[in-house]
Structure 1
Amino acid sequence: MYSYKSRVRYSECDGDGRLTLVSMIDYLQDCSTFHSEELGLGFRELKQKGYGWILAAWRIEIDRLPEFGEEIDVRTWCYEMKSLHAMRNFEILDAKGTSCVRAESQWLLYSLKDNKVIRIPSELEAYVEDTPRIPMPKMQRKLRAEGPGTQASPITVGEQFLDSNGHVNNAQYVLMAIGALEELGVEAPMSTVSVQYRSMARLGDVVVPVVHDAEDGRTIELLNNMGEVYAIVKLQER
Structure 2
Amino acid sequence: MYSFKSRVRYSEVDKEKKMDMYSIINYFQDCSTFQSEDIGMGLAYLEKNKRVWLMNAWQIIVNRFPSLGEEITVSTWAYDFNSMYGYRNFMIEDTNGQISAVANSIWVYMDTENYRPIKVTEADIRGYNPEKKFEMDYAPRKINIPKNLDSLAEFPVIRANIDTNNHVNNGQYIKMAEEFLPSGFRIRQMRAEYRMSAVLGDIIVPMVCRENSTYTVVLANQEGKPFTIIEFKQQEE
Smaller-chain TM-score bracket: over 0.9
One-letter amino acid matched to 2:88: R
- Calculate the TM-score normalised by the size of structure 2: 0.94
Structure 2 gaps, min length 5:
none
Q: How many residues align?
A: 235
How far off its partner does 1:4 sit? Answer: 0.4
Q: Distance in 2 between matches of 1:179 and 1:216?
A: 17
Structure 1 equivalent of residue 180 of structure 2: 180
Higher helix share: 1
| Contact residue 147 and residue 213 of structure 1 kept, 8 A | no
How far off its partner does 1:150 sit? Answer: 1.6
Structure 1 equivalent of residue 155 of structure 2: 155
How far off its partner does 1:231 sit? Answer: 0.3
Structure 2 equivalent of residue 25 of structure 1: 25
Q: Cα deviations across residues 83-141 of structure 1 (Å, max 9, x unaligned)?
A: 12010000000111111000000011111110111111221222542531111111313
Q: Distance in 1 between matches of 2:130 and 2:142?
A: 28
| Contact residue 9 and residue 69 of structure 1 kept, 8 A | yes
Structure 1 equivalent of residue 10 of structure 2: 10
Q: CA RMSD in A?
A: 1.5
One-letter amino acid matched to 1:213: R
Structure 2 equivalent of residue 217 of structure 1: 214
Q: Which secondary structure does the structure 1 equivalent of 2:176 belong to?
A: helix
| Contact residue 194 and residue 227 of structure 2 kept, 8 A | yes
Q: Distance in 2 between matches of 1:231 and 1:186?
A: 22
| Contact residue 72 and residue 94 of structure 1 kept, 8 A | yes
Match of 1:195 among 192, 199, 209: 192
1:207 aligns with 2:204: yes
Q: Distance in 2 between matches of 1:176 and 1:205?
A: 14
Q: Bigger shift: 208-217 or 98-107? A: 208-217
| Contact residue 61 and residue 103 of structure 2 kept, 8 A | yes
1:90 aligns with 2:90: yes
One-letter amino acid matched to 2:100: C
Ranges of 4+ aligned residues in structure 1 off by more than 3 Å: 185-189
Q: Which secondary structure does the structure 2 equivalent of 1:11 belong to?
A: helix
| Contact residue 141 and residue 193 of structure 2 kept, 8 A | no
Percent identity, aligned pairs only? Answer: 34
Q: Distance in 2 between matches of 1:171 and 1:105?
A: 13
1:236 aligns with 2:237: no
Q: Which secondary structure does the structure 2 equivalent of 1:67 belong to?
A: coil
Structure 2 equivalent of residue 74 of structure 1: 74
One-letter amino acid matched to 1:92: I
How far off its partner does 1:189 sit? Answer: 4.3
Q: Cα deviations across residues 180-226 of structure 1 (Å, max 9, x unaligned)?
A: 33xxx576441000000001001111111100123441100010011
Structure 1 gaps, min length 5:
none
One-letter amino acid matched to 1:78: A
| Contact residue 111 and residue 118 of structure 1 kept, 8 A | yes
